Structure 1
């Protein structure tokens, strides 16, 4: 648990503005905006095989962001973004040495979850994995936190959260900031355009130096430029779900949240759509608002009455969130019925959240009012 003090609270309030949510059709993760470089930093494994990713921050509008640098050696990637006016600058740790026992804070902001902060201490400043030195610490790295910053008590970025050890108790690894500074310097010095670090010779090369799109001009090894990644094309039920979302006016590329997951914002309601291939079940969960601490009984009575009256939808409570859900089996999904069902869910979600808050005292979800 993070033990906060007034100065750390101020640091975290500022940093949360530049911690960025990242999603592709294959994965989700975290990144952070560096004002001086004008890019969002994240892990390469989060955006690998993608030309672009969906990004969103507390003060950064949701957008498709182009991947402009891929670094498989250091597991780094840079994304270009717009609408960054007013975002604060992050200080990258430079001079001096890190020490075992030093307090560190890991920060993440995966899609669907609130700003996540965990505290720990450095257990090793020089843990080598496949020729790369990492900071080992016990600040928990949860799923979706990869790519977020590791900071010290001064609010300086000392590393990029990269690895967590399976079947271990809070053992995490972060790439030291010195590697990030090296990558930024080489990225900025290289020729214009999308760039990649060659895993074989470690040179940073731009797409204009790789006319065939395949081989490093320095050593001839295979390189994988983000700009040459294949465009994502859904298949099967995922294709059908995206077809119906598009038909009802949703921006499908902005809604993708990893394999068989989509997220739609309808009014003040957040709607998560998930397809479970093993069971054939398609779930649409609209997160409306949260339960208050008092006078809960009238809300439960209202939800029970609505579950009896409303057709095709049902209310439930998940971790204090009031959720309106739609369930469909894939064999019954076609464009006509799917459009009607999802339109019904979207309309009812935007209708019920106002009733629950204004008439029954429910609370707006924290991320909806951030």
Structure 2
């Protein structure tokens, strides 16, 4: 297979994962009925948000965690047909083989980077890893490392900071061992003890806390009775979204990042604690195809900016964006509800109006 064939195969099998604290990547193994990712991506959450090319953002249950090998298994979305990708033969790989790392680095969805295996069996902290020179970055974690036969030969796991494209992937053989251990318990929560490698389930856990094999303290991926609340401005933003009828669990796109739908528009909300501003950016339609419509469109946007207090219409590359910037100390729950309600309503209005009046095109959506 060539690189484009591999990318075409994997783009629908690669999953974006988000929690309160960050984002990462996973990939679907159809034959096993599981999404594979890193344990540090799910970050002690029993539920995470997932999204893919062929399905909308949804909540997914974490079934299996393994801190020692940095693996986690997640339930796939219901009633979604995802392509079959297979685990390859790690033992057949050798230094110098070409590989492709697929993931979501820095929020750039479905990025693929080509590289070479620098060392096929690098040992770190007692575990075997594949060392690669493909550029894997934050967000790539949990994504597949693929050979040119189109098979998964590793799980992209970590990089060495300051290293020049120095990345490491967990071998597919280690993943297969974990799958063999868990699959007899598919659909039930389990964790792997970091000390003795035993699988611990709800039925076998000792006193709801300890591994029955060695007595080490373990934690199953159980949904807590009460979710741990965020603090400060992040909590305020989620309170505002709840008041506006949004599901904050589905809205989360990582630390201090949220996205929601406002009609046909997509609104991205972010908070930067370093500059103290909350930003709401509603991505509307795209520029019209007819060049004769561009000048009157610009004139209309400038005219509207003189009318809309606090809201600003702008063009970001080919996208038309409606934005609101709020200083965090000026935002209360009451004022925030009013501000974001207005942003959502105006975003929906402008998106439809610009399409009807100026021939603007529907935004190309990237999940």
Relative to the length of structure 1, the TM-score reads 0.90
Among 164, 179, 183, the alignment partner of 1:184 is 179
* Compared CA separation, residues 169 and 267, structure 1 to 2 (3 A): farther
* Compared CA separation, residues 84 and 252, structure 1 to 2 (3 A): same
* Deviations 1:211-240, CA, capped at 9 Å, x for gaps: 422211100111122116673312222222
Among 113, 124, 133, the alignment partner of 1:129 is 124
- DSSP-derived class of the 2:266 partner: strand
Q: Is contact 1:43-1:147 (8 Å) kept? A: yes
Counterpart for residue 195 of structure 1: 190
Q: Is contact 1:48-1:226 (8 Å) kept? A: no
- Structure 2: which 5+ residue stretches go unaligned? none
* Number of equivalent positions: 364
* Deviations 1:66-94, CA, capped at 9 Å, x for gaps: 11100111111011133244211111103
Greater mean alpha carbon deviation, residues 279-288 or residues 93-102? 93-102
- Structure 1: which 5+ residue stretches go unaligned? none
1:259 aligns with 2:255: yes
Counterpart for residue 167 of structure 1: 162
Counterpart for residue 107 of structure 1: 102
Among 211, 222, 234, the alignment partner of 1:238 is 234
1:329-344 aligned within 5 A: 329-344=327-342
| In 2, Cα distance between equivalents of 1:267 and 1:111 | 27
Q: Is contact 2:90-2:172 (8 Å) kept? A: no
* Compared CA separation, residues 301 and 114, structure 1 to 2 (3 A): farther
Report the alpha carbon displacement of residue 191 of structure 1 after superposing the two structures with TM.
Answer: 8.6
Report the alpha carbon displacement of residue 291 of structure 1 after superposing the two structures with TM.
Answer: 4.6
Greater mean alpha carbon deviation, residues 173-182 or residues 253-262? 253-262
* Compared CA separation, residues 219 and 325, structure 1 to 2 (3 A): same
- DSSP-derived class of the 2:310 partner: coil
* Compared CA separation, residues 155 and 344, structure 1 to 2 (3 A): same
| In 2, Cα distance between equivalents of 1:92 and 1:53 | 24
Counterpart for residue 113 of structure 2: 118
1:274 aligns with 2:277: no
| In 2, Cα distance between equivalents of 1:362 and 1:86 | 32
Greater mean alpha carbon deviation, residues 21-30 or residues 135-144? 135-144
Report the alpha carbon displacement of residue 192 of structure 1 after superposing the two structures with TM.
Answer: 6.8
Root-mean-square deviation over aligned CA pairs: 2.4
| In 2, Cα distance between equivalents of 1:286 and 1:129 | 44
Among 28, 33, 36, the alignment partner of 1:38 is 33
| In 2, Cα distance between equivalents of 1:264 and 1:341 | 15
Relative to the length of structure 2, the TM-score reads 0.91
